[in-house]
Amino acid sequence: MENLVESLINLFNGLGKEVVVFIISMLPLLELRGGLLAASLLKLDFLPGYIISIIGNTLPIPIVLLFLEKVLNWLKKFKATTKFVNKIENKILSKKDQIEKYGYIGLMLFVGIPLPGTGAWTGAGLAVLLNMNKKKSFLYIMLGVILASIIMSIISYGILGNIIK
């Protein structure tokens, strides 16, 4: 992940540290983890990096919750994209056990424990595909993002921060 984050930092180099962290935090797969790592690598002070990463990671989630199902259904109308959409849905649904077992707390933990394939985007996708309440899902996804931000801050600004200095 660090190499990808460094490549994106170089790509967006002229935009300013805060904007780079914000953009990286919005991206699926990288999300908050990538944003906090970028903030640390860019030597952005902790508090601005922390806040920008949370906002960047959270901003797309209402859009995902509101429109993912419509977009997927629309894409399924085309033969060329049906297989791709089914693959995305199956990939997301392969992670549903924790949410089905523990409900909204499971959703929060799924988003909050920073492991590959977890995060706010996938959590929102699961909430949509499992027909969970959107407002309640957003709240628990936010709590998960905050949990992930605490864990990743310790890693990025603690352990990694000490290695980089």
pLDDT, residue 59, reads 96
User: pLDDT tens digit string along 47-71?
Assistant: 999 999 999 999 999 999 999 999 9
pLDDT, residue 56, reads 97
Q: How confident is the model at residue 24 (pLDDT cuts 50, 70, 90)?
A: very high
What's the CA gap between 121 and 126, in Å, rounded? 9
- The domain segmentation of the chain, as residue ranges, is 2-58+149-164, 61-148
Mean pLDDT to the nearest integer, 18-26? 94
Please, what is the Cα angle at 80 between 86 and 122, to 5 degrees? Answer: 30
Percent of the chain scoring above 70 in pLDDT: 95
Residue with tokens 């085309």: 78
User: pLDDT tens digit string along 65-119?
Assistant: 999 999 999 999 998 999 988 988 888 888 788 788 899 999 999 999 988 778 9
- Say if CB 133 and CB 17 are below 8 A apart: no
Q: How does DSSP classify residue 100?
A: H
What's the CA gap between 137 and 123, in Å, rounded? 9
pLDDT, residue 27, reads 93
What's the CA gap between 19 and 158, in Å, rounded? 23
Check the CA dihedral 55-56-60-61 and report its sign.
Answer: negative
Write out the H or E segment, with its range, that includes residue 17. helix 17-26
